[in-house]
Chains A and B, each alone.
Chain A
Amino acid sequence: MEYLIGIQGPDFVLVAADSVAASSIIKMKDDHDKMFKLSDNILLLCVGEAGDTVQFAEYIQKNVQLYKMRNGYELSPTAAANFTRKNLADYLRSRTPYHVNLLLAGYDQADGPALFYMDHLSALAKAPFAAHGYGAFLTLSILDRYYKPGGWTGEQDASLLSILNKRFILNLPSFNVRAIDKEGVHDLEKVCGREREREGRERESR
């Protein structure tokens, strides 16, 4: 039901997440942010079981910030990803595993952009593009076909998400989109489905 996607460009990483917070059949919130800022240039996108996502992501977030306070410099995206994986793996065989699927995206001044895919069994893989959720079945093949390491632009992201509007049976009305480059994290314009734009216009005209 929830959807995350990340795409690495030549000198940036583009990430998007749907913005629905659901409880059984009800959409409780349609402007929910699933991205957690670990540092000035690392974002953690987290979906999965309801309470686990926020608990785990905030735990990682606070620990990354603690590292910076103690040592005076920030963790690199690779180090943060490995730290996250280690924690997830440690809890995996405890009595309270965290059922979360993650994307970690960051920009390192030395190594450039990085995108990491992590699943609830704490498998970690660095990838040029990655997605979580049922929507991944529809979007990964497009990326396989059209992605080139030097050639992904922001406009293609909106057209990628429109395939979900066309083919996915569940309605994912809007997506939060962010880009990370050497200047840090930038909020991009939310991508909305056609229905949501219409709703927005109706609400304003009431």
Chain B
Amino acid sequence: MALEDLCGLQALGGSLRGSLGVGRYLDRSPIDFGQTAPDSVPAPDASGWSAGGPGGPDSAPGAGPDSAPGAVPLPFPTAHGTTTLGFLFQGGVLAAADTRSSCSGLVACPASRKVVPLHRHLLALGSGTSADIALWRRILARELRLYQLRHGRRLTTGGAAKLLALMLAGPPGGGAGTSRGGARLYYVCSDGKRLRGELFSVGSGSPYAYSVLDEEVRWGLSVEQAARAGREAVYRASRRDAYSGNCVDVFLVTARGWPNDEMSARGME
């Protein structure tokens, strides 16, 4: 990054870039698209089978996701003080999140954005450190745009979720979007789990939200009812969870994307 270059931090052996494993993706793409670079050609496997290591397309056999040079463990356990949720219904995908950013017991920001649009048809809901979410939002948005330019079509929601899961160091979160095939909702976790489903909630307030959602959500909800259900679930979670609270952001993704008439007409966004 620019500041790092200016300060000559390469001399430290790239220790900053290695943390969380994200350093590999700051200036190169996780998908190589057939381009070869000196350090991206995997070492030939003795048995002749090299479909790429399980950790990702650029790891040689025997290397793993954490073997990036200079990878350091996190200095403290990160909390996930958030309630975010998403569910599918007949009108598309509804996403809701609280807006509290907490930092060791104080509210660092009462109006943070946890639902981050990646592009017109894809939202990411993040739980984890805000810095990670901001970083991954930009890396993912870059990769999705590159894919679209190279292939002439948008990467599907499932593909975007898989990309994030393979990069393997993303904070827990979800991706909600519509693509060819309709509305999709995926949950991606930093331990590599990727699940496709119809209702997910992530964060410290998620158990409270799950219970409320399981009672209220069904396929036939109208847009208004769905927005109310999402808002109610985040509200109930933020009543009980100390690390969630302040306001509720509600987004609706339809086939026309997330800025759409149904939601803005009701002034809920």
Contacts from A to B (Cβ < 8 Å): 21, 23, 25-26, 28-29, 32, 49-52, 54-56, 58-59, 62-63, 66-67, 90-91, 94-96, 98, 203, 206
Contact = CB atoms under 8 A, between A and B. Distances in A.
Given A23-B193, A28-B200, A29-B197, 14 more contacts: A21-B195, A25-B207, A28-B187, A50-B189, A50-B191, A51-B165, A51-B189, A54-B165, A54-B192, A54-B193, A90-B61, A95-B66, A96-B55, A96-B65
Interface residues of B, number: 27
Determine the main DSSP class of B at the interface with A.
loop
The 4 closest A-B pairs by CB, nearest first: A51-B192, A96-B64, A59-B54, A50-B193
Contacts of A55: 54-55, 192
Contacts of B65: 96
A49 to B, nearest CB: 7
The winner among A25, A50, A96 for most chain B CB atoms within 10 A is A96
Interface of B: 49, 51, 53-55, 61-67, 165, 168, 187, 189, 191-195, 197, 200, 206-207, 210, 218
A28 B172 CA distance: 13
Contacts of A62: 51
Contacts of A25: 207
Contacts of A90: 61-62
A26 B65 CA distance: 27
A62 B51 CA distance: 7
Contacts of A52: 192
B51 A63 contact: yes
Nearest to B210: A26
B51 A51 contact: no
